[in-house]
Amino acid sequence: MAKPRRVKAIFCQYKVPVRLIAFFIGLLFTVNGWAEVTASKDSQEDSIYVLPHHTEQGLSCLERNNNDGVEELWQIKFLKEKIFHWDRMDAELKEYPITMVNNKTIAWTQISDAHPDISYVYVLDRETMRQSGTQISIDSSGKPKIKARWFSECRMLSYTTLNAIIEKEAEENKK
């Protein structure tokens, strides 16, 4: 196995998109030992690996906060490299790009609609089905700051099961 390369944190000296900074910081802080993953679209690590009948899947993640839990629902469309978050407040699916998919990991970044200087970086370990989330903001000097971190236990759902849950919740919201 090739030895991981060291990466200098020099991106703050140059004008780099917030999404790119958020992605790299999210990977560095939420996941240990994944320094070998490259951002090249030609890389085998970044290629999408799915079986033909698994091109669209549902994902349910439960985040535990003390005694209560928050369930988040996601729709994953692997071939389009998109993930959709079920926003219960607005009763709609919100689309986000998947930044990395391989046999072990799915990673994506959400930019806040209300606050574009806040990003949420999610990394799902497909083997343990554990998701890590990191909230990152950019301060007035342009430096990224980690505001919060959390972990969730996840399970894959069939696409039809997830859609049935979403449709039921949407109907209840209309009442």
The residues spanned by each domain of the chain are 15-37+46-169
pLDDT tens for 94-153 read 999 999 998 899 999 998 777 888 899 999 999 999 999 999 998 888 889 999 999 999
What's the CATH code, domain 15-37+46-169? 2.40.160
Among residues 168, 20, 33, 4, the alpha carbon closest in space to that of 99 is found at 20
Lowest average pLDDT, out of 38-42, 51-55, 56-60, 119-123, goes to: 38-42
Model confidence at 50, pLDDT cuts 50, 70, 90, reads very low
Predicted TM-score of the model (pTM) = 0.67
Cα–Cα distances in angstroms (integers) from residue 6 to residues 10, 33, 35, 37, 63, in the given order? 12, 12, 8, 12, 33
pLDDT > 50? residue 79: yes
